[in-house]
Amino acid sequence: MARIQQSVDISVPARVAYNQLTQFEDYPRFMQEVESAQQVDDTHVRWTTRVGQQKRDWNSEIIEQQPDQCIAWRNLDGPINTGRVDVEALGENGARVTFTLEADGAHSGTEGDHAMAKQVQEDLQRLKQMMEGQGHETGAWRGEVHGGQVTGGESGAAAGPAGSGSLSENALSKEMDRNNADGRFNVAEEVNLDQQSDAVRHAGNLPHQSTEGYGDMGTNEAMKNALQGEGTPAADKEKLDDSIKRAVPPSN
């Protein structure tokens, strides 16, 4: 059985490199002979390749997948028996990607092995150019596979392998929550919605209102005056005042 192994160093974090490699439908972008790769489900991919005028389809099954480490598969048919890609971190902003392919005797031989090794190395160079050019992954799947079975992991953290290639709404929501962790923009959490309903309507219209009468007062004071109109109970004014100070810090 012939065994081909080639590596390339890419100037992106190992996590970014791994995430990109989970996006099988992008493989035709750097693998010259691959026309298309269709993610059937979490553990199966259908491939279409063309060598010269010869077109060939086959199916592969992912048998092992560990985030930021490796993806291994076996072909259910086709010219290559098994394949594996390993990702090794090279500091914080570098990764070594290694492809290992194995073919049986019917598809090997000294000349054939050299040709296959050259093709894999050229494909890896295209992967390097693609990733360093875009600087980020087009998507990610953070699940784990062992023995051909999905066993968990971070499968909900980002788009699935057949997904849109962007972070999920859940992940984006968590990112927004982290950005707002200091509470500066969470005014609504501190003022009862029933109490502030009228004030919120005023706040929404504030950019369109005339600033006449506010003089040179800062944004904080202008916003407070607009929100604390006549008829607002003293207790509500105090709550609004505290919330406004956090939402719009006083200017120096």
Q: What CATH number should be reported for the domain holding residue 138?
A: 3.30.530.20
CA proximity to 59, closest of 79, 85, 31: 79
Residue 252 lies in a domain: no
CA 244 from centroid of its chain's CA atoms:
35
Q: Are residues 100 and 187 in the same domain?
A: no
pLDDT band for 55, please (50, 70, 90 cuts). Answer: very high
* Integer Cα distance of 123 and 151 in angstroms: 30
pLDDT in tens, 135-189: 999 999 999 999 999 997 654 444 444 433 333 333 333 334 434 433 333 333 3
Same structural domain for residues 38 and 111? yes
What pLDDT shows up at residue 111?
77
Same domain for 203 and 152? no
Please report how the helices 193-205 and 219-227 are oriented relative to each other, as an axis angle in degrees rounded to 10. Answer: 120
Tell whether 118 and 141 lie within a shared domain. Answer: yes
Residues 198 and 146 in one domain: no
Is residue 175 assigned to a domain? Answer: no
**What number is the average pLDDT over the span 25-52?**
94
pLDDT digits (tens, 9 = 90+) for 217-245: 555 555 555 555 555 566 666 655 665 56
Mean pLDDT of 1-5: 86
User: Structural domain tally of the chain?
Assistant: 2
> Does 173 map to a domain?
no
Residue 132 lies in a domain: yes
Q: How confident is the model at residue 34 (pLDDT cuts 50, 70, 90)?
A: very high
SS3 122: helix
Same-domain pairing of 156 and 74: yes
Residue 126 lies in a domain: yes
Of the chain, the end-to-end C-alpha distance in Å amounts to 74
175-214 CB burial, b ≥16 within 10 A, e <16: eeeeeeeeeeeebeeebeeeebeebeeebeeeeeeeeeee
Q: What pLDDT does 195 receive?
A: 44
Choice among 90-104, 113-127, 168-182 with the minimum mean pLDDT: 168-182
The pLDDT value given to residue 20: 98
Q: Is 233 part of any domain?
A: yes
- What is the pLDDT at residue 249? 56
Pairing mode of beta strands 54-66, 82-89: unpaired
User: In terms of residue numbers, what domain contains 211?
Assistant: 180-247
The pTM of the whole model exceeds 0.85: no
Please tell me whether residues 144 and 213 are part of one structural domain. Answer: no
pLDDT at residue 92 above 90? yes
Residues 240 and 192 in one domain: yes
Whether residues 161 and 220 fall in one domain: no
Q: Both 50 and 119 in a single domain?
A: yes
Write the CB contacts of 230 (distance below 8 Å, at least 6 apart in sequence).
none
Q: Is the pLDDT of residue 84 over 60?
A: yes
